[in-house]
A and B are shown apart, each in its own frame.
Chain A
């Protein structure tokens, strides 16, 4: 099915992105001519074995990782050609991490308030209302005065989701958001991410939890050795994988369960 894409609706665009890590043992080509777009409201899953480059790929979108060649655009802003400082471009993206990365010297509420006050410069009382609403949305309003150390992994990740949404990003980048969680805590995070996806949030999700990718995404991109091997609608990709490599990958991962 070929859809007509209005270029205005493209939130993320990667165009022939290459990334080469220089190491003492030679060059490591981790992203090879990666090109894809993510349009408004789409939820895209990036799957692949570890070392396939999926996390690196995600991190090029908010320039946590520099690229060797190619172009990355967020909301039509090209990191390479824009005169804006990088941190201003990053405002359009929110990100959650595998290891939550909450700021340990701030309580849950302060973690969410930081972006509101410092990045999008909301007035204090307005910021407080937004932050408390976000914490309520992730079910942690009662824990707002707790520091990250006294929250469980699932709770920390939920605060991190509220923190990422606070700056009202155009896209939410999720880097293995469930893989550092104890198995019984995975669902509380998955449920919230699915809820967020339902609100029409554009999302790009790196994961190796296939059931999560299936549950949350409309489109799946399979990466291996820094190459896009296969991509398509999530249901179709999982039901009828075309390439042998994806077939093998799916077989391997499902057998582990």
Chain B
């Protein structure tokens, strides 16, 4: 069977690539003449009893990262769906405005958006770093959510919409009873991907002196000079948070697709 042979070949190739990458990494780490010492991070994770105990700076930073990303996801999704609705309307001016907004926020670096929000708008309106930070991330998240929304709605099965109209459903009923439940499920995978990358992008907030995870890591490195240990540990924290988010997304997707398979 040629198909069976092909799948065997793929399995073999995958195992080979894994072993090869592992070998490269193992060799690189072995060649590195470095004394690893992760114990140095202990007070950053949990404060020593002498200082009263409690979460250390990394965990505090992680909490701020989670909190600000969560706020940005909420605000960004709400605004993004409103923008997305404008993108699919036939009203020309608001459609064009939404299109320009989406293009600007998707095609410029977040870092520059953050500078504008913090140093220029923030100075004029006396915004704190946290407010300008969440504002930037929300606006930027909204542009992506709007595009995901537009893509899903534009590609929605026309036949079903015809059937819903033919049944005598009002436009609002068509949107809420037919399109929304299905579009939500279709939008979920790209949305979760967007949220995960937003959580990683929140590390940029360190440049406006917000004490989130990346900023705390930078501070720790300047004191301990242990950048390898610090960044590996920080990466692990991001990995844990994002894995939780993606797994939750997958769980929701499965739950929402009851009957569709």
Contact = CB atoms under 8 A, between A and B. Distances in A.
Interface of A: 62, 64, 85, 87-88, 90-91, 93-95, 97, 99, 101-107, 114-115, 118-119, 147, 149, 160, 163-164, 167, 173
B159 interface: yes
A149 B169 CA distance: 23
Nearest to A90: B168
A107 B51 CA distance: 61
A147 B164 contact: no
Q: Report, nearest first, the 10 A-B pairs whose CB atoms are least far apart.
A: A101-B163, A147-B259, A95-B166, A91-B168, A119-B168, A90-B168, A101-B159, A87-B170, A115-B167, A105-B181
B186 to A, nearest CB: 11
A90 B177 contact: no
A164 B165 CA distance: 11
Contacts of B190: none
Given A87-B169, A87-B170, A107-B259, A118 B163 contact: no
B162, B164, B260 — most chain A CB neighbours (10 Å): B162
Interface string B160-199: 1011111111110100011001100000000000000000
5 contacts: A87-B168, A90-B165, A101-B162, A103-B178, A104-B182
A85 B170 contact: yes
A91 B169 CA distance: 8
A87 to B, nearest CB: 5
B5 interface: no
Contact of A167 (B167, B171, B259, B260): B167
B255 interface: no
Nearest to A88: B168
Contact of B159 (A99, A147, A173): A99
Nearest to B163: A101
A147 B160 CA distance: 15
B261 interface: yes
A85, A88, A97 — most chain B CB neighbours (10 Å): A97
B167 A163 contact: yes
Interface residues of B, number: 20
A107 to B, nearest CB: 6
Contacts of B166: 62, 64, 90, 93-95, 97, 164, 173
A8 B159 CA distance: 33
Nearest to B166: A95
A101 B162 CA distance: 8
A105 B163 contact: no
Contact of A118 (B173, B182, B260): B173
B162 A97 contact: yes
Given A105-B260, A107-B259, A64 B162 contact: yes
Contacts of A173: 166
A112 B178 CA distance: 14
Given A104-B259, A104-B260, A149-B261, A87 B171 contact: yes
Nearest to B164: A103
Contact of B167 (A85, A107, A119): A119
Nearest to B259: A147
A105 B168 contact: no
Given A97-B159, A103-B163, A118 B169 contact: yes
Contact of B260 (A88, A97, A147): A147
Contact of B168 (A97, A107, A115): A115
B168 A149 contact: no
Contacts of B261: 149
A99 B161 CA distance: 13
A136 to B, nearest CB: 20
A125 B240 CA distance: 49
B169 A105 contact: no
A159 B164 CA distance: 14
Nearest to A102: B163
A62 B166 CA distance: 7
B160 A103 contact: yes
Interface in B127-176: 159-160, 162-171, 173
A105 B162 CA distance: 16
Contacts of B260: 104-105, 147, 149
Nearest to B182: A105
Contacts of B159: 97, 99, 101
Given A64-B162, A103-B178, A119 B259 contact: no
Contact of A97 (B163, B171, B178, B181): B163
